[in-house]
Amino acid sequence: MKPTLLLRIALGYLALFSLQIGLWAMLAPRSFYDDFPGLGRSWVSVDGPYNEHLVRDVGALNVAIALVVIMAAIRLSRDLVMVAGLATLAWGVPHLIYHLFERDGLSVSDQIISLSGLATFSGLAALILIIGPGIADRAQAEQTQAAPTPQGASR
C-alpha cells in the first residue's frame, strides 16, 4: 500500500471520529451527554451535571479539528499535515490523560474501550506528526514531476 494512501487513511480516521462526535454534540447536545458513545453506554453523564454550552463547544471544537484534518487528507501538503497532527495531538493527549486518572462511574469494560479509543486517536496523531511530513513532501514532489510542461517551456 502506498504511503500516501496510508496517511490519508490515518487522517480520515481522525476526521471521521472528530466529525461524528462533533456533529452529535453540536446538533443534539442532550443526547450526546446522556447517550455517548451509544449502544447502551453512557460515558459523559457520569462526569458531572449537564451543561449545554460546554457540550456544544466540544462539538464545535471536534468539527473544527475534523475540517483541518479533512483538508490535510485532500491536499497532503506538509504544512497542513503538520497542523492536522498538532491539532489532534493537542486535543487528544490531554483528553487521554484526563481519562487515565478520572475513571469513576465507568465499568472496567467501558474504561478499556474508552481508553483504547483515546490512545488510538492520540497515537495516530503522533504517527502523522512523525511520518506525515515526509510522505507529504514525496507526494508533492511526485505531483510536480508528473505535471505537464507547457508547450515551449523546458523543465
Q: In this predicted model, what pLDDT tens digit does every residue of 58-110 receive, in sequence order?
A: 999 999 999 999 999 999 999 999 999 999 999 999 999 999 998 888 999 99
Nearest one of 127, 120, 72 to 95, comparing CA atoms: 120
CA distances from 42 to 52, 94, 151, 155 (A): 16, 21, 63, 60
Cα–Cα dist 46/86, whole Å: 29
Q: Could you tell me if residue 118 is inside a domain?
A: yes
Pairing outcome for strands 37-38 and 41-42:
antiparallel
Reply yes or no on whether the pLDDT at 150 is more than 80.
Answer: no
Q: How many domains does the chain have?
A: 1
User: Which domain does 74 fall in, by range?
Assistant: 3-143
State what percent of residues in the chain have pLDDT above 90.
Answer: 81
